[in-house]
Amino acid sequence: MVQWKPDPSFYPSPKLATQAPPEKHAFVVMFNPKLKGKPDALAVVDVDPNSKSYAKVVGQVEMPNIGDELHHFGWNACSSNLCPYAPHPHVERRYLVVPGIRSSRLHIIDTKPDPRKPKIVKVIEPDELMAKTGYSRPHTVHCGPDNIYISALGSPSGDGPGGIFMMDCETFDLRGRWELDRGPQNLHYDFWWHLGYDTLITSEWGTPKMIEKGLNPEILLSSGYGHQLHFWDLRKRRHKQAIDLGKENQMVLELRPAHDPTRAYGFLGVVVSIKDLSASIWLWHREGSNGSNGNWKIKKVIEIPAEPADPDDLPELLKGFKAVPPLITDIDLSVDDRFLYISCWGTGEFRQYDVSDPFNPKLTGSVRLGGIVKKTPHPRNPKQPINGGPQMVEVSRDGRRIYFTNSLYASWDDQFYPEGIKGWMVKLETDPVKGGLHIDPKFFLESEAVLRPHQVRLEGGDASSDSYCYPS
Question: Residue 424's domain is classified under what CATH number?
Answer: 2.130.10.10
Residue 466 within a domain: no
For residue 117, the tally of other CB atoms under 10 A from its CB is 14
Torsion of CA 100, 104, 109, 115, to 10 degrees: 10
Can you give the pLDDT of all 472 residues of the chain as single tens digits?
Answer: 555 788 999 999 999 999 999 999 999 999 999 999 999 999 999 999 999 999 999 999 999 999 999 999 999 999 999 998 887 778 999 999 999 999 999 999 999 999 999 999 999 999 999 999 999 999 999 999 999 999 999 999 999 999 999 999 999 999 999 999 999 999 999 999 999 999 999 999 999 999 999 999 999 999 999 999 999 999 999 999 999 999 999 999 999 999 999 999 999 999 999 999 999 999 999 987 555 567 899 999 999 999 999 999 999 999 999 999 999 999 999 999 999 999 999 999 999 999 999 999 999 999 999 999 999 999 999 999 999 999 999 999 999 999 999 999 999 999 999 999 999 999 999 999 999 999 999 999 998 778 999 999 999 999 999 999 999 8
SS3 387: coil
What pLDDT does 293 receive? 60
Q: CB–CB of 460/9 below 8 Å?
A: yes
What pLDDT does 85 receive? 81
Residue 209 within a domain: yes
| Residue among 158, 190, 163 nearest 178 (CA) | 163
Dist. CA 390–CA 339, nearest whole Å: 17
Dist. CA 463–CA 450, nearest whole Å: 29
Q: Write out the E strands in 393-434.
A: 393-395, 401-405, 424-431
pLDDT in tens, 374-387: 999 999 999 999 99
Residue 315 within a domain: yes
- What is the DSSP track for 276-334? TS-EEEEEEEE-STTS-S--EEEEEEEEE--EE--GGGS-TTTGGGTEE---EEEEEE-
| Residue 134 domain boundaries | 14-458
Residue 465 within a domain: no
Residue 472 within a domain: no
Element containing residue 220 per DSSP (H, E): helix 217-221
**Whole-model pTM?**
0.97
Q: DSSP label at 376?
A: B
What pLDDT does 87 receive? 75
Dist. CA 26–CA 30, nearest whole Å: 13
Residue 386 within a domain: yes
What pLDDT does 289 receive? 52
Residue 313 within a domain: yes
Domains of the chain: total: 1
Residue 371 within a domain: yes
User: HSE-up of 52 (CA within 13 Å, CB side)?
Assistant: 0
